C-alpha cells in the first residue's frame, strides 16, 4: 500500500498512535494562552430526551492563573444569580499546564495533561499513562486528515481521564476530545459525567468553542447540557472582585458590558 505523508511526516499507511499523541501534546505546549477570557455562550439543556425551554445566553469571565470563573446571564441584571468559583469548562482549559493545572485540580473535567510536561521537557519520553490505539483516519470538509485516538488508562482512571482524541494530521491541533469527569448541581451529590469538547481558532488562540456533557440526577433523569460559544474577547485584565463572591456583591452595579473590560 502506498504511504501518505503530511507536514510532520507521521501520516503514513500505518500511523503510530503514540507518535500522534506526543505530537498533539507538543502542539498544545506551543500554543499561546490568553490570561483572561470574556465569553458569551448559548446553553441548551435536554432532560430524558426532551429539550427544556430556552434560557438567556450566559456570559462567562475566566481567569487562567487560578482557573476561576464568574458566570451570569446575558444581558446582565444586578438582581440575577451569579456563579463564582472553579471553572468546569474554561475555553482555555487545555492550555493550563504545570503548577497551574495542579492548583486547579478540583474533580470536574480538568483534562489530564500529565504527559505534556514530560514530553515538552525531554526528547526520549517515557510511555504515557494510557494504552493508545488508532481508531481510524477520516477527512474533514477541507480535506485535512483527522486521526481518531482511543485512550485506555493503565492505572488511576479518574486522574487519567482522557478517553478519545481527534487530531488534525496537518497541524496536530486537537479538534475534539472526550473526557471523563464529574459534575455537581447545587443541592445534589456529585455525579460521574462524560464530556465532549470541540476546538477551534478564536482570534490568535486555539480554544474550546463547544462542549456537551451529560449526567444523572435523582429519580432517573438523564440531563444533557450543550454549550456553544457565540462571542469571545480577551481583556488584558479583569478586576479581582469578579472572582470573589463577597467583593462581587459590593460591585453588582459595576459589571462592565461585554467587550468593555481593559483590552477586551
- pLDDT, tens digit (0-9, with 9 covering 90-100), for 184-208: 776 667 778 899 999 999 999 999 9
How far apart, in whole angstroms, are the C-alpha atoms of residue 182 and residue 116? 22
Please enumerate, as own/partner, the contacts of 30-34 that have beta carbons within 8 Å and a separation of 24 or more. Answer: 31/95, 31/205, 31/206, 32/95, 32/204, 32/205, 33/64, 33/92, 33/95, 33/96, 33/205, 34/64, 34/92, 34/205, 34/234
Cis omega before residue 108 (within 30°)?
no
4 half-sphere exposure, CB direction, 13 A CA radius: 10
Q: Which residues of the chain have pLDDT under 70?
A: 1-13, 96-107, 117-127, 186-188, 264
pLDDT score at 119: 60
Comparing C-alpha atoms, which of 224, 195, 207 is closest to residue 109?
A: 195
Give the residue extent of every domain in the chain: 17-254
SS3 assignment, position 232: strand
Q: Where are the alpha helices (DSSP H) in 31-112?
A: 99-103
Task: Express each pLDDT in 117-142 by its tens digit.
Answer: 666 555 545 567 999 999 999 998 88
Contact 73, 56 (CB under 8 A): yes
Cα separations in angstroms, 165 against 46, 49, 157, 179, 197: 25, 26, 16, 9, 10
- Which of the 8 DSSP states describes residue 242? G
pLDDT score at 186: 66
Q: Going along 89-144, which residue ranges are E strands?
A: 130-139
| Whole-prediction pTM | 0.87
As given in the structure block, the three cell numbers for residue 92 are 482555555
pLDDT score at 124: 46
Cα separations in angstroms, 90 against 59, 97, 111, 127, 264: 12, 14, 11, 29, 17
Q: Going along the chain, which residue ranges are E strands?
A: 36-47, 50-51, 57-63, 68-74, 83-86, 130-139, 145-153, 162-168, 174-183, 191-202, 205-217, 221-233
**Is domain 17-254 given the CATH code 1.25.10 in the classification?**
no
- Ramachandran sector of residue 136 (left: φ over 0; alpha: ψ -120 to 50; beta: rest): left
Amino acid at each position: 500500500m502506498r504511504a501518505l505523508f503530511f507536514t510532520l511526516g507521521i501520516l503514513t499507511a500505518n500511523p503510530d498512535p503514540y507518535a500522534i499523541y506526543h505530537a498533539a501534546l507538543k502542539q498544545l505546549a506551543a500554543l499561546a494562552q490568553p490570561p483572561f477570557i470574556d465569553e458569551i455562550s448559548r446553553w441548551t439543556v435536554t432532560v430524558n430526551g426532551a429539550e427544556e425551554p430556552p434560557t438567556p445566553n450566559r456570559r462567562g469571565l475566566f481567569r487562567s492563573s487560578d482557573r476561576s470563573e464568574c458566570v451570569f446571564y446575558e444581558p446582565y441584571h444586578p438582581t440575577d444569580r451569579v456563579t463564582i468559583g472553579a471553572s468546569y469548562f474554561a475555553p482555555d482549559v487545555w492550555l493550563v499546564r504545570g503548577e497551574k493545572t495542579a492548583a486547579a485540580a478540583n474533580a470536574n473535567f480538568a483534562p489530564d495533561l500529565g504527559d505534556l510536561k514530560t514530553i515538552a521537557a525531554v526528547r526520549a519520553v517515557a510511555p504515557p499513562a494510557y494504552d493508545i490505539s488508532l481508531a481510524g483516519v477520516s477527512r474533514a470538509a477541507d480535506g485535512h486528515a483527522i486521526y481518531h485516538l482511543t485512550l485506555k488508562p493503565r492505572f488511576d482512571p479518574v486522574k487519567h481521564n482522557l478517553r478519545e482524541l481527534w487530531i488534525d494530521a496537518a497541524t496536530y491541533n486537537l479538534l475534539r476530545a472526550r473526557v471523563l469527569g464529574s459534575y455537581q448541581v447545587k443541592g445534589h451529590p456529585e455525579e460521574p459525567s462524560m464530556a465532549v469538547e470541540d476546538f477551534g481558532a478564536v482570534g490568535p488562540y486555539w480554544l474550546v468553542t463547544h462542549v456537551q456533557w451529560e449526567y444523572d440526577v435523582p429519580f432517573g433523569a438523564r440531563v444533557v447540557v450543550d454549550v456553544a460559544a457565540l462571542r469571545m474577547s480577551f481583556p488584558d485584565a479583569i478586576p479581582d472582585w469578579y472572582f470573589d463572591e463577597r467583593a462581587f456583591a459590593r460591585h453588582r452595579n459595576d459589571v462592565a458590558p461585554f467587550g468593555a473590560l481593559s483590552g477586551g
